[in-house]
Amino acid sequence: MRIVIAGGHGRIALRLERLLAGRGDEVAGIVRRPEQAGDLLAAGAEPVVADLESASVGDLARHLEGADAAVFAAGAGPGSGVERKDTVDRGAAALFADAAEAAGVRRFVIVSSMGADREPPADTDPVFAAYLRAKGAADADVRARAGLDWTVLRPGRLTEDPGTGLVKLSAGSTGRGAVSRDDVAAVLAALLAEPGTAGRTLELIAGATPVEEAVRAAAG
């Protein structure tokens, strides 16, 4: 497969690139800064420099031509304010989905967040609340597109702990919990290889089920 990842220098994306390249897939990662290219090359991915906040649909569609799947793993990141949560976490996701449709790439996986399916509690930090709303709006946009075979993945609290390969993945609620970025990347890689998960919104936390088994069950 050829897979193009938006947010290619992110902590989940770099892990995913290593996994995909390791199994023989061709991977390209979209990054904003040229100096990030070396990290992608080290992960086995082709770096593509493009700014998701200013690129046109046509610009991104050219990078997606010939791809079998697209993954949106971009985010405004820590330290960004309310405005960039909207322009990146929502706006760039919609732009990337537009580009995937324009390039004829049907398989589309988006990394969302647990809690994106409801209004944040009143005492939520305003920036985090904006993030959750942006993620929820991006999910809704993608799920409304008949031109995409989409999967929405909503991980719980992300950690830097080593992956265990054991998760809880559910189209319902997993309950609150944490999950390592290693295991999120492993689940994403498995989702890309399992077309039966198209049309599913899945919550993910650490658990007791091997990744491949959990993804097969989610496709059933």
Residues with active-site annotation = 131
To the nearest 10°, report the CA torsion of 171, 136, 62, 38. -90
Location of structure tokens 């904006």: 130
DSSP at 121: P
- Residue 149, SS3 per DSSP: strand
| Exposed/middle/buried for residue 16 (C-beta within 10 Å: 0-12, 13-18, 19+) | buried
Cβ atoms of residues 155 and 111 within 8 Å = yes
Helix axis angle for 93-103 and 126-143, nearest 10°, is 20
Both tokens assigned to 150:
């989409």
b (16+ CB within 10 A) / e for 146-182: eebbbbbbbbbebeeeebbeebbbbeeebeebebbbb
Both tokens assigned to 29:
């990662």
